[in-house]
Amino acid sequence: MLNVVIFGAPGSGKGTQSELIIGKYGLRHVSTGEILRKEIEKRSELGLLADEYISKGQLVPDEVIIGMLGDILDEDRNVKGYIFDGFPRTLAQGEALDKMLREKNTSIVAVLNLSVEEDELIQRLLKRGEISGRSDDNPETIQSRLDVYHNQTEPLKTYYKRQGKLFIIKGDNIDDVFERITDTLNPIL
């Protein structure tokens, strides 16, 4: 299996690039943020719980997310590979993902880290907030999401760098970013 993690701050373009990657390589998209937003819409128990964290810009607890991922990996058969978008977001999630994949005799082949300046991220998220209707695309919540990213998610970079899997991709504009991604993935996939 060809499993790729797309990694970066909120607003770095993970979702946009994931769509392009699945179009080209036929991988299955797993966006934990999207799954949680669907649960919120359905007003399921999971959705109601997740909403309390998401609307404050905090992370949903690891055990909830890891359980959710385990279910997805168990239900899918005959998948060419996954693109993990917005997951893992903590070291505990990263370790759990490695373990779950190892149990299926597979692993992560590449971690694409979209790198964008903080000012640019804020501008993008504010602009998205005008149309997305997302409860977390507002100035206060954006700042806490960026803080959470730096404190809880960024340490994963070292984790993947040690494994030799981290690729830093400049995250400026959609077409150039995708070209850099295909240049990175083609020799691997």
Residue positions annotated with a catalytic role: 14, 89, 128, 134, 145
Q: Between 31 and 180, whose beta carbon lies closer to ligand ADP?
A: 31
Beginning with the edge strand found earlier in the chain, give each strand of the sheet holding 28-31 in spatial order.
Answer: 28-31, 82-85, 3-8, 108-115, 166-170
- In the list 59, 97, 112, 116, the residue contacting ligand ADP (rule: CB under 6 A) is 59
| 3-class secondary structure, 110 | strand
Number of CB atoms found within 10 A of residue 43's CB: 10
**From candidates 3, 17, 18, 32, binder to ligand ADP by CB under 6 A:** 32
Encoded one letter per residue, x for contact with ligand ADP by CB under 6 A and - for no contact, window 76-105 reads ----------xx-x---x------------
Contact 40, 32 (CB under 8 A): no
Q: Does 36 bind ligand ADP (CB under 6 A)?
A: yes
177 binds ligand ADP (CB under 6 A): no
Query: Residue 86's CB: how many other CB atoms inside 10 A?
Result: 22
Q: What is the DSSP letter of 56?
A: T
Q: Does 171 bind ligand ADP (CB under 6 A)?
A: no
180 strand-pairing partners: none
Applying CB under 6 A, what is the total number of residues that bind ligand ADP?
18
The 105-144 site mask, x for binding ligand ADP (CB under 6 A), equals: -------------------------------x--------
Q: In the beta sheet, which residues pair with residue 59?
A: none
H/E stretch holding 120 reads helix 118-132
**Residues near ligand ADP, by CB under 6 A:** 10-11, 32-33, 36, 53-54, 57-60, 65, 86-87, 89, 93, 136, 145
